[in-house]
Structure 1
Amino acid sequence: MAVQQSKVSKMRTRIRHAANRYQGVAPTNCTKCGAPCLPHRVCKACGMYGDRQVLNTESQQD
């Protein structure tokens, strides 16, 4: 069986695991209106998802 050369401390293990932590989702800008929105989701400002109109917003009804 394989045997470790020396004990890996808790601090060293946590430092190694910290490099793989979840960074969160970076917001992008809507291609239609330029408002910040999450990727792969409907833009709340204009209601567009890609090239399709999905939601009716108040700004478009005026």
Structure 2
Amino acid sequence: MAVPKKKTSKSKRDMRRAHDSLTPPGVSTCPQCNEPKQPHRVCPNCGFYKGKEILSGED
């Protein structure tokens, strides 16, 4: 079984983990109701996508 010969320093350990952080999702505004929404998705507030009503209001 492979065992490390030397202790990994905090610097090397943290450099390896530098790319593990999470990025927040992108946010754009809906052109119909000006509410925040994720890009390329139907607006959860008004139900429009690309100027067309996808979800009806009686849900």
User: Could you state the TM-score of these two structures normalised by the residue count of structure 1?
Assistant: 0.58
Runs of 5+ unmatched residues, structure 2: 1-7
For residue 17 of structure 1, report the CA deviation from its aligned partner: 3.8
Name the structure 2 match of 1:24.
24
Matched residue type, 2:44: K
For residue 16 of structure 1, report the CA deviation from its aligned partner: 5.6
Report the RMSD for the aligned CA atoms in angstroms.
2.3
SS in 2 for 1:12: helix
Residues 1:42 and 2:7 aligned together:
no
Percent identity over paired residues: 34
Name the structure 1 match of 2:4.
none
In 2, Cα distance between equivalents of 1:48 and 1:29: 12
Matched residue type, 1:22: L
Matched residue type, 1:14: D
Deviating beyond 6 angstroms after TM superposition, the runs of 4 or more aligned structure 1 residues are none
Name the structure 2 match of 1:3.
none
Runs of 5+ unmatched residues, structure 1: 1-7
User: Could you state the TM-score of these two structures normalised by the residue count of structure 2?
Assistant: 0.61
